[in-house]
């Protein structure tokens, strides 16, 4: 029993280390992805407890075997009515945790290898929607440039479109990443897996950025300050994704009245989709676009090709105008549940 309990503690420590240290520091800067990891593990642990009747004393790495996971995927569909896309996200998140555990413990390697043989569920291909030329122009007219916030928002949208960066990549940009005085101005974007890609900037984007930096960062900006920072804290704190999402929806509501092409549920990623479709129409080949978008696989980029063909050339004009924390002996808690033992 003591040996089994020791392994249960290791599993619990691994969950804590993955969620609190490894994932946010080494895997992703996206709070949405971190939340997805946590939600997936919480759902899985609750499944083990309630459906498989696993107690804290019984928890071990065998609970992550292929059969357990396949049964869980069936349960996600039958009991939670999850769609294939959601099941695939859950599977990918659980695999990331098991992979992390395998790196920490060689005995878990076979468990991870078996998990990679689980097939993803078939999904119907979704069409990716970008923004039309008119939608982009109207959106750019929405910020009130007589206010600091409005001027900031305009530059944020310009850079979001000009670089086709993911929102977290944009909000992670620091002054040091921008090389605006270079012969060919560019920005270094830090993407997934800390991979850096260089994106050149057009003159109008450079002009807006220089004015913005002068106003918001002064004549001698701190190189490690975030380009877009939270005004509630300081220049070393990122502007939050929810804050950006809220502003975009406010602009979308106003812009939709003038242009129905502007979706009311506008989100930052649509600027990325839009820029990708325009690159295609400019004649940039799909391999180059894949690099510009920071995609790990070319197949991911092919999704963007469908925008041009299916939307019949509704393109966009170029916008020139902690170490693992010590775990409290959770088997001593009052509820004595597996979920509580694992920290959920």
Instruction: Look up the CATH number of the domain holding residue 276.
Output: 1.10.443.10
Range of the domain at 86: 2-125+324-341
Report phi then psi at 54, rounded to 5. Answer: -80, 130
Distance of CA 208 to the CA centre of its chain: 26
Q: Is the pTM of this model over 0.75?
A: no
pLDDT at 130 over 80: no
Confidence of residue 286 (pLDDT cuts 50, 70, 90): confident
pLDDT value of position 193: 72
Mean pLDDT of the chain: 83
Compute the distance between CA of residue 107 and CA of residue 101 in angstroms, rounded to an integer.
9
Mean pLDDT of the 153-163 span: 93
User: How many Å separate Cα 198 from the centre of its chain?
Assistant: 19
Whether residue 113 has pLDDT greater than 80: yes
Q: What is the pLDDT of residue 44?
A: 95
pLDDT (average), residues 106-133: 81
Between 288 and 281, whose confidence is greater? 288
Query: Does the residue 142 lie in any domain?
Result: yes
Q: Is residue 316 part of a domain?
A: no
Residues 306 and 224 in one domain: yes
Domain count within the chain: 2
Give pLDDT, residue 307.
41
Q: Are 343 and 15 in contact (CB under 8 A)?
A: yes
Judgement on whether residues 138 and 178 belong to the same structural domain of the protein: yes
Q: What integer pLDDT is reported at residue 43 of this predicted model?
A: 95
Give the residue among 167, 166, 145 at the shortest CA–CA distance from 155.
Answer: 145
Name the 3-class secondary structure at 88. Answer: helix
Examine the domain organization and report whether 118 and 177 are in the same domain. no
Q: Six-digit token pair at 87? A: 């099941």
Q: What proportion of the chain, given as a percentage, has pLDDT over 70?
A: 84
Provide mean pLDDT across the span 83-90.
Answer: 89
Question: Do 95 and 70 have their domain in common?
Answer: yes
Cross-strand partners of 238: 229
């Amino acid at each position: 029993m003591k040996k089994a309990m020791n392994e249960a503690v290791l599993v619990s420590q691994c969950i804590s280390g993955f969620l609190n240290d490894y994932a946010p520091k080494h895997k992703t800067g996206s709070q949405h992805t971190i939340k997805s990891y946590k939600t997936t593990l919480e759902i899985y642990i609750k499944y083990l407890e309630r459906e498989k009747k696993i107690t804290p004393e019984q928890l071990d790495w065998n609970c992550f075997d292929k059969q357990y996971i396949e049964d869980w995927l069936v349960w996600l569909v039958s009991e939670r009515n999850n769609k294939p896309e959601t099941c695939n996200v859950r599977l990918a998140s659980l695999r990331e945790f098991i992979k992390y555990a395998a790196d920490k413990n060689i005995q878990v390697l076979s468990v991870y290898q078996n998990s990679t043989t689980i097939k993803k569920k078939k999904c119907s291909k979704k069409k990716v929607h970008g923004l039309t030329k008119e939608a982009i122009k109207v959106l750019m007219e929405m910020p009130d440039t007589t206010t600091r916030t409005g001027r900031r928002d305009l530059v944020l949208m310009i850079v979001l479109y000009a670089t086709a960066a993911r929102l977290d990549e944009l909000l992670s940009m620091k002054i040091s990443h921008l090389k605006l005085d270079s012969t060919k101005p560019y920005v270094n974007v830090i993407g997934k897996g800390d991979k850096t890609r260089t994106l050149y900037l057009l003159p109008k984007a450079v002009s807006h950025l220089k004015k913005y930096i002068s106003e918001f960062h002064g004549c001698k900006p701190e190189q490690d300050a975030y380009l877009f920072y939270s005004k509630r804290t300081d220049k070393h704190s990122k502007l939050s994704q929810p804050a950006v999402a809220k502003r975009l929806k406010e602009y979308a509501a106003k812009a939709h009245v003038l242009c129905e092409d502007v979706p009311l549920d506008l989100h930052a990623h649509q600027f990325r989709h839009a820029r990708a479709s325009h690159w295609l129409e400019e004649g940039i080949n799909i391999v180059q676009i894949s690099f510009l978008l920071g995609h790990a696989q070319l197949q991911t980029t092919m999704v963007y090709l469908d925008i041009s063909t299916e939307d019949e050339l509704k393109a966009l004009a170029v916008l020139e105008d902690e170490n693992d924390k010590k775990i409290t002996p959770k088997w001593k808690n009052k509820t004595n549940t597996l979920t509580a033992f694992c920290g959920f």
